[in-house]
Amino acid sequence: MSFLTLALTLIFVFIPIILSKTLKLGLEKDTLIATIRSIIQLLAVGFVLQFIFDSESFLYIILMIMLMIGAATQNARKKGALIPGITWKLIVTFLFIELLTQGLLIGLQITPATAQYMIPISGMVIGNSMVLGILFLNRFTSEIETRKKEMELILSLGGSPKQAIHRSLITSIQTSTIPTIESQKTIGLVQLPGMMSGQIIAGADPLQAVLFQLLILFLLLTTAIVTSIMLGFLSYPTQFNEQMQMID
């Protein structure tokens, strides 16, 4: 694909902008900013990845992964601004997810410890963890606000903070994992994953593309569950003080 062909694809950006303007949805600015940022970021990453792949330096691989975790944390923390210490909680969660998935992949010799495998897989794992973290934090903060009186009642009757927040915590975890689980139920029937489709378009063996895509799907399933659970159990204690009262 040439840059001229890429320019023609901008029609798919103009369509939502025109619709947003016509229906007064107010999405024009965000759509334009997202488009410009994606172009700049992906082009920059393309050159960076080319350099890293050519250098074959493990240090550069680590630095790239740390950059991913930092960017994901910065983006997700906005949804958890009301949760004390949310920044370090996100960093710990993303770092644990990365060590868990890469540790198993490399330890079981499923994929080699090379930049060509580690960086793309890390990007998918951390990116998915970021989205799940945002979904969880958004629902969790909403649940706390909605059920605050219910939780205070449980505490006043002698319940522990864990008992008071249990329902909100479980609901938030379940809700945040729904998109990942539901999408896997219809994979191959309703949608063909972008990575698999890209490999097939590039001329790869369709069966090998499917097998690699299944690996990614299984990774993302673990990412979804672990991210929500970790963030949940790291976040809920910060909603109570030492006297087991809810913090306003």
Full 3-state SS string of the chain:
CCHHHHHHCCHHHHHHHHHHHHHCCCCHHHHHHHHHHHHHHHHHHHHHHHHHHHHCCHHHHHHHHHHHHHHHHHHHHHHHCCCCCHHHHHHHHHHHHHHHHHHHHHHCCCCCCCHHHHHHHHHHHHHHHHHHHHHHHHHHHHHHHHCHHHHHHHHHCCCCHHHHHHHHHHHHHHHHHHHHHHHHHCECCCECCHHHHHHHHCCCCHHHHHHHHHHHHHHHHHHHHHHHHHHHHHHHHHHECCCCCECC
Asked if the model's pLDDT at residue 201 lies above 70, the reply is: no
CA 206 and chain centroid, separation = 27
Write down the pLDDT at residue 111: 87
- Token pair recorded at residue 191: 């949608």
Render pLDDT for 26-82 as a digit per residue (tens, 0 to 9). Answer: 888 888 998 898 888 888 888 888 888 888 788 999 999 999 999 999 988 888 777
pTM over 0.85: no
Render pLDDT for 16-26 as a digit per residue (tens, 0 to 9). Answer: 899 988 988 88
